[in-house]
């Protein structure tokens, strides 16, 4: 089975990078083979083309861009829960992403 890619995006790509680390730790513990990376919201279309993520999660601070992003890509897009994001809950966010992957 090929590993799935999960893309996180926020305004600058910085605040989501800590969450990426936590999600990777959770994936390792759960023996799930996923590739997770973070990018800036402005780079979503090109990063999506380059990495072909199975799912894209947006930081809560850019949730107003949800509909725009959905038009730009052809994969499931969702906003990370504010609480999970604030607490950097990699486990919960990973579960959210995996539940969206077909």
Instruction: Identify whether 25 is a catalytic site residue.
Output: no
* Distance of alpha carbon 78 from alpha carbon 66, whole angstroms: 7
Per the residue annotation, which of 8, 10, 23, 97 is the catalytic one? 10
**Which residues belong to the active site?**
10
């Amino acid at each position: 089975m090929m590993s799935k890619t999960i893309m996180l995006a926020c305004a600058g790509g910085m605040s989501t990078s800590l969450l990426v680390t936590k999600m990777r730790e959770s994936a390792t513990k759960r023996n799930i083979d996923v590739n997770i990376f973070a990018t800036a919201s402005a780079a979503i279309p090109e990063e999506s083309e380059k990495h072909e993520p199975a799912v894209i999660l947006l930081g809560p601070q850019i949730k107003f861009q949800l509909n725009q992003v959905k038009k730009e890509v052809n994969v499931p897009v969702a906003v990370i829960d504010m609480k999970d994001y604030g607490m950097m809950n990699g486990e919960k966010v990973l579960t959210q992403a995996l539940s969206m992957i077909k």
